[in-house]
Amino acid sequence: MTLIKSISGIRGTIGGKTGENLTPLDIVKFTSAFGTWAKQNSENHKVIVGRDARISGEMCSQLVSATLQALGIDVLDIGLSTTPTVEIAVVEENAAGGIILSASHNHKTKKTQSPMKSKPPTSSKKQPVIVKDLSTKKNPKGGASINFSRRNI
């Protein structure tokens, strides 16, 4: 499956070539873009991370959490969860946003990384486009420096 980048996130088959399938490098790249966006657009640098029960879920979740923490973002990893649960947690925790790692109804080798923000989706249709644009730049304007201190909350 080709790596699909859309308004609702990124989708692809785990493994294979970077940029063609969903590889660890792709996950780090898009998570970094989302984290950069979240830091630039929110005073609260906290992101909720949830995942489904697929075998790749824990690995993807660890990559996402470590990438966000390296950007200086506090991560609240709620583990196994649904998309609505992550959405509610974003609001309840007043987080900058959330990421759900889920393949929904797709085959077990497929995975989706869907970013969400603290305000309802209609508040800014530009966010997914900005994240997609930031993910293609080597050093995005205003990009956060990487700090490897671990900050689990």
- Give pLDDT tens digits for 53-64: 888 889 999 999
Query: How many domains would you assign to the chain?
Result: 1
Determine the pLDDT at residue 140: 46
Name the residue among 19, 14, 4, 44 with its Cα closest to residue 128.
4
Q: How far apart are the C-alpha atoms of 23 and 107, rounded to whole Å?
A: 16
Give 137's pLDDT tier (boundaries 50, 70, 90): low
Q: Does residue 133 form part of some domain? A: no
Q: What is the share, in percent, of the chain residues with pLDDT greater than 90?
A: 42
Q: Does residue 147 form part of some domain? A: no
From first CA to last CA, the distance across the chain in angstroms is 35
User: What range does the domain containing 56 cover?
Assistant: 4-119
Backbone phi and psi for residue 57, each to the nearest 5 degrees, phi listed first: -60, -45
Tell whether the model's pLDDT for residue 132 goes beyond 90. no
Query: Averaged over 56-83, what is the pLDDT?
Result: 95
Q: Does residue 130 form part of some domain? A: no
Query: Averaged over 19-31, what is the pLDDT?
Result: 87
104 annotated active-site = yes
Q: Does residue 112 form part of some domain? A: yes
Q: Distance of alpha carbon 31 from its chain centroid, rounded?
A: 4
Q: Does residue 23 form part of some domain? A: yes
> Which residue in the list 104, 114, 118, 135 is annotated as catalytic?
104
Instruction: Supply the CATH number for residue 21's domain.
Output: 3.40.120.10
Q: Does residue 124 form part of some domain? A: no
Tens of pLDDT, residues 82-122 = 989 999 999 999 999 999 998 765 555 555 556 655 544 43
Tell whether the model's pLDDT for residue 148 goes beyond 80. no
pTM for the predicted model, two decimal places: 0.73
Q: Does residue 139 form part of some domain? A: no
